[in-house]
Structure 1
Amino acid sequence: MSRAALRIVVVAGFVFLYAPILSLVIYSFNESRLVTVWGGFSTKWYGELLRDTQILEAAWISLKIAFLAACLSTILGTLAATALARHGRFRGRTMLGGLVTAPLVMPEVIIGLSLLLLFVAMESLVGWPAGRGLTTIVIAHATFGTAFAVVVIQARMVALDRSLEEAAQDLGARPLRVFFDVTLPGLAPALVAAWLLAFTLSLDDVVIASFVAGPGSSTLPMVIFSKVRLGVSPEVNALATLVIVAVTVVVLAAAWISARRPATDAGPH
């Protein structure tokens, strides 16, 4: 393939990926309520969005659920990754590995339905959880978030230099202190990546949350999905634009920090 043809393919690929996003951003400033008819430049839909209590409440609920689910997923993923990466073969290892990786390949509809049946059975047997709501959504999101966290953290844990841990033990440190003072700092990049991945997956989920949510616990994706079914609203375009801007800022900040780190590390100590 010639260089000109390669450039054409690359440009066509970028247009295919980003033209719909650019169109969404442009029409978020549309004066008209009809999202496919340009009626002039206006920012009124951003004001309407900030006055939409349903969307704002759903966004706050989604952020709370994503934060809690990400924290729980990271903790459980660290424990499971430690068992799989550091304790060799033990009874139940195969079952543990299968349980933590099953959500990676299982359809979300099956996960949501099975969790719904589990919560209903638990409520009838032990009285908890009492109905469906924030608690059940957090548990459900942590269930599949843990699977992704295990993959990220286990890969990092296998690559760690165990001689540092052995040196700490030779100096008299107990295993628990070695884990918190040596192992966890080495896992920090993987822990951050696993937390962000679980947070994003939770914030994006609509299928599983639809099964386990109850009255007053509708997440932002659920609200957007319900609005889109009745027709795309300019407020949804404005909300999507704000999300795109927030993600872009985070990505650019991460790239800037990564670009500065080698220069900082190369400086005098």
Structure 2
Amino acid sequence: MRKVLERLYLGLLLIFMYAPIITLIVLSFNSSKSRAKWGGFTLEWYVNLLSDEAVASALFNTLSIAILATIISTIIGTISCIAMIGLNARLRSFIMSITNIPMINADIVTGISLMLLFRFLHISSGFTTILLAHITFNIPFVMLSVMPRIKNMNVYVYEAALDLGAAPLYAFYKTVLPDLWPGIVSGALMAFTMSLDDFIITYFTKGSGFETLSTLIYNEVKRGIQPEIYALSAIIFVVVLTLLMLVYRVPAKKNKD
């Protein structure tokens, strides 16, 4: 009886979480603009989405920011973790605790504080401010993925490679990087997902006249939800779900090997 109740509870929880998303995806293929009736299967809204210049511009902005923020935050986060190898455990734990604050801090607080900082520094709102904001909140996610690999790494292998005559860069490439690679990939995928999905911080740092997919959808919803928004939301959900599956698959495959 207990197992039945547990499965029933889990089933209800999953339905509550994913029924709205499934409904949205189904409506994205509905030929009728009405949400109350099914008018037949169609790909019209996806076709219209591809020909929408505003959506194309927002998509380009979103992907550009996400890719650049991922690359830069992954490099900074990885280097920061490597730099902490020589620190004692207490100091390393203290630095990681400070680094993790942006992850547990409310997004609206981070967004407003970054907006005020950019205004204080007289940085014009737009692509640059959004990119800097995304790099800021992505770095902790990268460090959170890389640091466990640092803790489990055997530093004596790197020192042995140096003793055997290997150059520092070559020794790092052959001994350290392979151990860190799964964490780096996981952190990069997580950073890309967070950047692609962010709305609150982007909204406060974007200024006027610059749109990403999340802010474009928000503005469209205020004017009335169009079927094209269903299609766009469905695409975003599938992309984010795919990236999250890759995030968890890479470490699992490495551990299996």
Same fold (TM over 0.5): yes
1:68 and 2:68 matched: yes
- Whichever residue aligns with residue 140 of structure 2, its letter is A
Q: Deviations over 1:196-227 (max 9, x none)?
A: 11111111111111121134431110001111
The equivalent residue for 2:155 is: 162
Superposed displacement of residue 27, structure 1:
0.9
Matches of 1:96 and 1:258 in 2, distance apart? 24
Could you tell me the TM-score, scaled by structure 1's length? 0.83
Superposed displacement of residue 61, structure 1:
0.6
Matches of 2:251 and 2:78 in 1, distance apart? 24
Is 1:35–1:233's contact at 8 Å kept on the other side of the alignment?
A: no
Matches of 1:249 and 1:117 in 2, distance apart? 35
The equivalent residue for 2:10 is: 10
SS at match of 1:20: helix
CA RMSD of aligned residues (A): 2.9
SS at match of 2:32: coil
- Whichever residue aligns with residue 233 of structure 2, its letter is A
Q: Unaligned stretches of 5+ in structure 1?
A: 124-128
1:108 and 2:107 matched: yes
The equivalent residue for 2:135 is: 142
Q: Alpha carbons of 1:250 and 1:155: their partners in 2 closer, same or farther (altered >3 Å)? A: closer
Superposed displacement of residue 253, structure 1:
7.5
- Whichever residue aligns with residue 145 of structure 1, its letter is N
Superposed displacement of residue 259, structure 1:
9.0
Q: Deviations over 1:105-124 (max 9, x none)?
A: 2222222222222222223x
Q: Alpha carbons of 1:36 and 1:232: their partners in 2 closer, same or farther (altered >3 Å)? A: farther
The equivalent residue for 1:225 is: 218
The equivalent residue for 1:55 is: 55
- Whichever residue aligns with residue 212 of structure 2, its letter is T
Could you tell me the TM-score, scaled by structure 2's length? 0.86
Question: What stretches of structure 1 move > 6 A for 4+ residues in a row?
Answer: 92-95, 251-263
Matches of 2:159 and 2:187 in 1, distance apart? 26
SS at match of 1:33: coil
Matches of 1:161 and 1:93 in 2, distance apart? 17
Q: Unaligned stretches of 5+ in structure 2?
A: none
Is 1:77–1:146's contact at 8 Å kept on the other side of the alignment?
A: yes
Superposed displacement of residue 177, structure 1:
3.6
Q: Deviations over 1:175-204 (max 9, x none)?
A: 444333321221110000000111111111
Is 2:111–2:204's contact at 8 Å kept on the other side of the alignment?
A: yes
- Whichever residue aligns with residue 119 of structure 1, its letter is F
Q: Alpha carbons of 1:118 and 1:195: their partners in 2 closer, same or farther (altered >3 Å)? A: same
Q: Between the two proteins, what is the percent identity of the paired residues? A: 36
Q: Alpha carbons of 1:75 and 1:21: their partners in 2 closer, same or farther (altered >3 Å)? A: same
Is 2:130–2:205's contact at 8 Å kept on the other side of the alignment?
A: yes
Superposed displacement of residue 76, structure 1:
0.9
Matches of 1:75 and 1:163 in 2, distance apart? 24
